[in-house]
Amino acid sequence: MITREYDIQKNRIMRIILILIALPIILFLIPPPATQQDENARYSVFDTTMIAGYSFFHENGIDITLESNIEFYNTLYPLIGIPHRSRAGRDGLDCSGLVKKVFNSVFGTQLKGGSRDIFRQVNVITTEELRETDLLFFKINSSQINHMGIYLNNDKFVHSSAGSGVVIEDFSKNYYQQHFYKAGRLTH
């Protein structure tokens, strides 16, 4: 009888020891429940190889983030360096041609006319409200709007320059500030 009780107690002790050893191992193998912070972390890093010309934009002071319109940058990148052509000739783009091409490709927006015509279609905003894909309008040596570009971020914008073709410029440069007229936003 004593040996039987001894065996029962021994089995209980062995079970307790086994549970004490196995429990931490089991708990280690079970992942903790996801928190909101974990969900945010999952989306805090993105694959920059999915963005055409990511390095080019980064080197030119453009911050592409999770909030950026990736399709916009992927559409824009192959257009950089295309020569300027008045009235969007066969071999190049003028300023409104660039805007129309990008907005049609990215948003399916069919814009008509030149920079003055496009200005009539925007909601005017202040420069403090500027965000990616907003439009900048200029009056260069004229009393009428005759040039435009697309705002990127960090005070940078893209436009088709008569001398350099499609380029990224610093909006804060004196030349652009002197000729700047208004900014506008299209509803997509």
Question: Which CATH class name applies to 53-185?
Answer: alpha beta
- Residue of 182, 188, 168 whose CA lies nearest to 135: 182
- Give me 2's structure tokens: 């004593």
- What are residue 62's phi and psi, to 5 degrees? -100, 125
- Residue of 160, 164, 137, 138 whose CA lies nearest to 76: 160
**Radius of gyration from C-alpha coordinates of the chain:** 30
SS3 183: strand
pLDDT tens track of the chain, all 188 residues?
Answer: 566 776 777 777 777 777 777 666 766 677 766 655 555 444 445 566 667 688 899 899 999 988 899 999 999 999 999 998 865 456 789 999 999 999 999 999 999 999 999 999 999 999 999 999 999 999 999 999 999 999 999 999 999 998 899 999 999 999 999 999 999 999 86
